[in-house]
Structure 1
């Protein structure tokens, strides 16, 4: 009997030691940012979780610093300056990942040169009912209908302020502003955002293109957009700090709508300092997943080519004088480079981070740098718009 108990104890001890060893090795590989470990173990395991639970877990991991740190400095060729801001590299985290401003420092630690927070609404709101996030594995895509779930201006403001006040933090933070679902005055919601965050934001993004807030995309129509941007410019002029003002566009705009927007944003009274192209799409063309008919905005690989085409189109329509942040289906350095040559000065990712984890940041930057140098450029900024016909 004693011998059998001794054997059981040995087995339990072996299991404990082995499990501890596996956990330790896994932790080390996660912390070191092993590409293979993330792609073959960590990310497949995360897909066993509900998509929104996995998203929240990823945000918390970045918040607590449980993410691999970038190894070394970015190459000089990836540095760029825009709106008087110095970017160590052109790669940022798109809005939608860190909605509440919780993971700013962790995302910079991974290697993003800038992080866009939000969308942030004036008042806290829960967003749409769950489930509201869906993985389309066959399409390497995500559909979400979060609906601007936000803890509101005050909660997010204090988190951003904390990051900015950290003496060891030097990253760039964009604030993406949205409207409350039940608000009767969308313009006032955006004005409140400018006023509240003007002392902290390195740049603002006016989000009028999410498909998940009823009526929001109507603000992209010519008259509505002209009125909104005119009032926002007037408000900004009254502020002590006047961060750059950017406009985020939908990828589902018609030719006429694109031209109207180009006309509006180049007027002095309703001008913007940049465009973010593009938001998620309502198109479901060519999808294979059984979840393709879920309501919401689609992001990921299905947007790779279409967003690049829209970037090139808007770069031409604005004569190349309105800087563009390109976003939509960037999984490789080549994807990023295509958007830059189409007219984007900076690029952002989101879905590729969800599918591949932190190592994708270093991978994209390395591949992008190799392509820049291969084409004989000393700076990535020299490649902006090179595939465009703008003279």
Structure 2
């Protein structure tokens, strides 16, 4: 990390977290953040659900909620970028304050509640984005006051689907009341059927992913795996934030919302490994939760992830973390004797079961 980046992070950490979040996006759009461009190698280049990626390190949803910084994010070293979540109608989200840094724990708690400018505004920005080698996807959400939340996911896909490379059904945010109830077998099957019907009507087929919570038991994970395989999903993202507060030290540990960052790594990786076992390699998995180094990314891949995503670690390590993780992962794969990312997937799964 450069001295400039250290000073910038120190400044951002002296102000309100949500304001700091906004300022970081402004800095990106303004060209104030040095960007490495596409990071790739023969070892890092891989595929996910038919998409070619320059590397397997992606940006998780939640950072660029309104798709306002797509161009610089695709030059930041990521192999793929996910924006959103988007809901059919604009909504303000939950009352502030709703974002908390847990510095001692290298973690973040948020209870944003799908605050966004709505699918139409986000679709316009997605349509205008520059095309390039880094796929861009959208996280689909539901309005808090919707009479039919399951139908909201299909509505957002209908509006934004023509302008994205993939879409993620997010039924795992803990910050919209009863949203996680949609992870049950019957509700999830019906929801996904509606989404897949919309996808079939798009001019081009885009991959559809499902993002799940880390707070699921073995039987619940087995149900999700069955539904995912039966529904025609293209990948599962494991996992979203957790409601657990086990082992936290920071003063904000009791705040309501979803916890992300380092404390989530073990829980999310165990869920990932279980899903890898349940799906038997029939469905790609995206490993998310607690990644803050190249070694973490390597462990996720060996636990069963085809690719990985992160976001919270940038709060503490800045945007330069992205190429550091990608290049460090290349070196870790080489040390492990793996010529490709795919060769390493699941090779260390047993350690997490």
TM range (shorter): over 0.9
Give how far 1:82 is off: 2.0
The residue number in structure 2 matching 1:217 is 180
User: 2 CA distance for matches of 1:190 and 1:74?
Assistant: 33
Contact kept, 8 Å, 2:166 with 2:208, in 1: the verdict is yes
The residue number in structure 2 matching 1:274 is 235
Give how far 1:60 is off: 1.4
SS of residue matched to 2:163: coil
* Pairing 1:173–2:139 present: no
* Pairing 1:367–2:333 present: no
User: 1 CA distance for matches of 2:3 and 2:27?
Assistant: 19
* Pairing 1:42–2:8 present: yes
User: 1 CA distance for matches of 2:101 and 2:323?
Assistant: 24
Contact kept, 8 Å, 1:198 with 1:242, in 2: the verdict is no
The residue number in structure 1 matching 2:79 is 113
The residue number in structure 2 matching 1:237 is 200
- Structure 1 stretches of at least 4 aligned residues deviating more than 6 Å after TM superposition: none
Bigger RCO (CA 8 Å, 6+ sep): 2
Contact kept, 8 Å, 2:112 with 2:175, in 1: the verdict is yes
User: 2 CA distance for matches of 1:73 and 1:364?
Assistant: 10
Deviations 1:187-221 (A, max 9, x none): 22111112112211111100000000011000001
Q: CA RMSD in A?
A: 1.4
5+ residue gaps, structure 1: 1-33
User: 1 CA distance for matches of 2:73 and 2:275?
Assistant: 29
Q: Map 1:1-391 onto structure 2 (within 5 A).
A: 34-39=1-6, 41-70=7-36, 73-163=39-129, 166=130, 169-267=132-230, 270-388=231-349
Give how far 1:84 is off: 2.1
User: 1 CA distance for matches of 2:333 and 2:141?
Assistant: 35
User: 2 CA distance for matches of 1:135 and 1:213?
Assistant: 21
The residue number in structure 2 matching 1:5 is none
User: 1 CA distance for matches of 2:125 and 2:63?
Assistant: 15
User: 2 CA distance for matches of 1:314 and 1:99?
Assistant: 27
Deviations 1:73-93 (A, max 9, x none): 422211101222110011111
Q: What TM-score, normalized to structure 1?
A: 0.87
User: 1 CA distance for matches of 2:197 and 2:68?
Assistant: 31
User: 2 CA distance for matches of 1:227 and 1:242?
Assistant: 20
Deviations 1:318-376 (A, max 9, x none): 11111111111111100000000111111111011111111111211121111101111
User: 2 CA distance for matches of 1:296 and 1:144?
Assistant: 5
Q: What TM-score, normalized to structure 2?
A: 0.96
5+ residue gaps, structure 2: none
Contact kept, 8 Å, 1:67 with 1:110, in 2: the verdict is no
